[in-house]
Amino acid sequence: MRNSIAIFFTVLLSLQLSAQWKPAGNKIKTAWAEKIDPKNVFPEYPRPIMERADWKNLNGLWNYAIQPKGASQPTRYDGKILVPFAVESSLSGVMKEVGASKEVWYSTSFTVPGAWNGKNVVLHFGAVDWKTEVWLNDIKIGSHEGGYTSFSFDITPFLGNNEQNLVVKVWDPTNDGPQPRGKQVKEPEGIWYTPVTGIWQTVWLEPVAQKSIAHMKSVPDIDNGTVKIETDIVGGTYGDIVEVSISDGDKKIATAKSSFGESVVINVPNAKLWSPESPFLYDFTAKLISDGKLVDEVKSYFGMRKISMQKDQYGVVRMQLNNKDYFQFGPLDQGWWPDGLYTAPTDEALKYDIVKTKELGFNMIRKHVKVEPARWYTHCDRLGILVWQDMPNGDKSPQWQNRNYFDGTEFKRSTRSEAIYRKEWKGIMDYLYSHPSIVVWVPFNEAWGQFKTEEITEWTKAHDPSRLVNSASGGNFYRTGDIVDLHNYPGPKMYLYDAERTNVLGEYGGIGLPLQGHLWKPDNNWGYIKFKNSKETTDEYIKYAKELKQMVLRGFSAAVYTQTTDVEGEVNGFMTYDRKVDKMDFSAVKKINLEIINAIHE
C-alpha cells in the first residue's frame, strides 16, 4: 500500500511540474524538444574530463523575475523558468526579451544529501551570460563575469540545517557592452542572432574533501612517449601525494606519484595515437593521498596526439597531425538551436551535429565564436573530430582588410574591455586545455574586436605552445601566429599566400536552400547564393569542392565550409535549423570531401 501511495505522489508531482512548463512561442523546434523532462534536465555528468563519483543536478524549474537594473531582490517572482535554458529561448518556457536595462533574478531551493556530511560542498555553474551574482540563504557568496567560462563556489560555510535557498542575479548588456558575446545582438538580422541572457549550462553540486583536486591538465608528448599530468590542489600541504594510474581499457599500463605542487611525467609505452580515424583515449585516475589516507579521487582521460607544421617536399607549409601531413576539412559550426538558442535540448542533440559532421566525411569542426558545454568537447574527443576553437567576439571592429597584410589602425579597446577579453580568453583555454580534439585557437575573426594582434597572438601561443594559433581569421593579417586564414564567398579562392605559414580557407560556401516548414523566419531568409532543391545544392557544393581540391595541391592545408545547420535567418546549412532534414546528398558530399582530404597525398 505504501509503495502505491508513493508512486501516486511521484506521478502527481511529475504532472504538476509538466503543467508548470511548456516550450514558449511558435517558432520551429527540434524533435528533442518533445523529450525534455523538466524534472530531469541534462542528467549526464557535466564535466567528463574530470569526473567524481558523486554529484547533484540542480537543473529544473526555478522561479524567475525580470526587474529593472539596480532593483532589489523581488518579493514575488514572475513565474517558472526551466534551467539551464536562456530567458529568450523557447525551452526556458519564458521566451522574453531582457536587454541592458534589466536584470534576471532566479531562485530555487535544494537539500544537501546526508551522505555528504563531513565533505565540503561546491556549487558549479557551467556558464551564465554575462555578469552573475549569487546568494545562499540570504548571504552573498560571490560574483562572476564571463558568459563562456565555468565558475564555482565552496558554499560549505553558508549552508543551513535543512533546505537551502539559492538566489542568482544576472545582467547581460548584449551588444551595448564590450564583453564577448559572439553572434548575439539586441536586434537580430542576417548573420546576427537572438540575445542569450542568464543561465545556459548545467548548475550542479559536488561534494569534495577539505583537501581536493581543483583542476587537472594533461600534456601529451608523442615524440618522447610520455604524458605530463599537472594538478592544482585546494588545501594541499607539503607531504601530500598525487598518484596517477593510466589504463588502456581494463588494463592498467602505468602508475606514477608526485608530491604536492609538482607535475608527474609518465611513460606511455607503445602509445596508441589519437586521430579522427582512430580516436583512442587513455583513461586515468588521480588520487590525492594525505597522511597516508585517500582523500580525493577523480577520473579523466587523455589522447596521445600532436598538432604541428612542417614544409613538404615542395616547400609548402603543411599542418601535421602526429608528424604526418594532414588536411583538415570541416564545417563552420555555430552551435545554435531554434528552441534552446545557445543550449542544445538534450545531450543526444548536443552530440548529433558532431555525428552528422562525421557522416559527411569531415575530420574537423570550426566552433565559430561560441564555446560549448564541456560534454560537447568530450563527444568530439570520443567520436574523433578536430576542433578549431574561436574566441567569441565582442566590442567593436576597426577597418577590415582581407586581400593583403593589414596596414590600417587597430581597434583600441578601453582598459576595461581589454581586461575582460584577456580574462575570458585565458579562462576558455584553461578550461578546455586537456581536450585532445582541440588543435587550433582563433583569437580574432574578421576584425571583430581585434586589438593588439601580435601581442595577443604571442600571448596565446605562450599560454599554450602545444597548439596552433590562427591569429586573425578572415583578414587584418599580421606576420604572426601559425596560419593565414582567407575567407571567400561563395566559391573558394586563394588570393594571398604566405610561404612561412600554413595557408587555409577559413570560410567559404554558404549555399542556401530554404525549405518551407523548417524556417525560423519564413518570409526573411538568405544564403550567399540560393537554390530550389537538394540536387542543385549538392551539385553546387561538388563544383566548389572540385575547385578547392586543386587549391589543396597548390597550398591550402585546411578549409572550412559554411555551415553545419541553418541558423535563424540563414539557410545555408547542410541541415535545416530544426535538424529534421538533410539538405544535401550526404553520400555524394562525403565522397568528394574524402577526395579533398586525401589530395595532399596524391
User: What's the Rg (C-alpha) of the chain?
Assistant: 24
Give the phi and the psi of residue 290 in degrees, each rounded to 5.
-130, 130
Share the mean pLDDT of the chain: 95
% of the chain at pLDDT higher than 90: 91
Contact 105, 77 (CB under 8 A): yes
Q: Does domain 212-302 have CATH number 2.60.40.10?
A: yes
How far is it, in rounded angstroms, from Cα 531 to Cα 512? 6
Q: Residue 9 above 70 pLDDT? A: no
Q: How far apart are CA 337 and CA 374, in angstroms?
A: 17
pLDDT of 430 > 70? The answer is yes
CATH topology of domain 20-208: Jelly Rolls (2.60.120)
CB atoms within 10 A of CB 408: 11
Confidence of residue 19 (pLDDT cuts 50, 70, 90): low
C-alpha grid cell, residue 73? 531582490
Q: 491 to each of 505, 511, 526, 561, how far by Cα in Å?
A: 11, 9, 16, 10
* Domains 20-208 and 307-601 in one fold: no
Domain segments of the chain: what residues? 20-208, 212-302, 307-601
Query: What pLDDT shows up at residue 18?
Result: 53
* C-alpha cell belonging to residue 318: 603543411
Of 4-8, 270-274, 325-329, 558-562, the one with minimum mean pLDDT is: 4-8
What confidence tens digit (pLDDT) does each residue in 271-323 have? 999 999 999 999 999 999 999 999 999 999 999 999 999 999 999 999 999 99
As a whole number of angstroms, the distance between CA 501 and CA 567 comes to 32
Q: In the predicted model, what is the mean pLDDT of residues 99-109? A: 98
pLDDT of residue 602: 75
Q: Residue 465 pairs with which residues in a beta bridge? A: none
Q: Which residues pair with 145 in a beta bridge?
A: 131
To 5 degrees, how large is the angle CA 266–CA 269–CA 270?
Answer: 145
Closest CA to 432 of 357, 373, 520: 373
User: Average pLDDT for residues 174-183, to the nearest whole number?
Assistant: 96
pLDDT bucket at 584, cuts 50 / 70 / 90: very high
- pLDDT at residue 410 above 60? yes
pLDDT for residue 14 is more than 80: no
- The residues pairing with 298 across neighbouring beta strands, listed in sequence order, are 286
307-601 to CATH, choices 3.90.330.10, 3.10.580.10, 3.20.20.80, 3.20.20.70: 3.20.20.80
In whole angstroms, what is the distance from residue 445 CA to residue 506 CA?
10
Flag whether pLDDT at 152 surpasses 50: yes
Coil, helix or strand at residue 595:
helix
The x, y and z cell numbers of residue 84, run together, are 539551464
**10 has pLDDT over 60:** no
- Mean predicted confidence (pLDDT) in 93-112: 97
- Decide if pLDDT at 12 tops 70: no
Strands 438-442 and 468-469: parallel
* pLDDT (0 to 100) of residue 6: 44
- Amino acid 80: pLDDT: 98
Model confidence at 84: pLDDT above 50: yes
C-alpha closest to that of 400 among 447, 442, 450, 453:
447
CA dist., res. 510 & res. 580, Å (int)? 19
pLDDT digits (tens, 9 = 90+) for 358-407: 999 999 999 999 999 999 999 999 999 999 999 999 998 878 999 999 99
Alpha-carbon distance of 194 to 568, in angstroms, equals 8
Give the least confident one: 8-22, 163-177, 467-481: 8-22
Statement: residue 120 has pLDDT above 50: yes
Mean pLDDT value of segment 8-14: 42
- Mean pLDDT value of segment 314-343: 97
Considering the entire predicted model, what is its pTM?
A: 0.95
Q: How many CB atoms lie within 10 A of CB 412?
A: 11
Q: Given CA atoms 550, 551, 556, 562 in this order, what sign does their dihedral have?
A: negative
- 2 CB-near residues (< 8 Å, 6+ apart): none
3-state class of 408 per DSSP?
coil
**What is the structure's pLDDT at 5?**
47
Per the listing, cell 587523455 goes with: 302
Considering only CA atoms, which of 281, 322, 114, 107 is closest in space to residue 198? 107
Query: Averaged over 221-242, what is the pLDDT?
Result: 95
The answer on pLDDT for 334 being more than 90 is yes
SS (H, E, C) 153-197: EECHHHCCCCCEEEEEEEECCHHHCCCECCCECCCCECCEECCCC
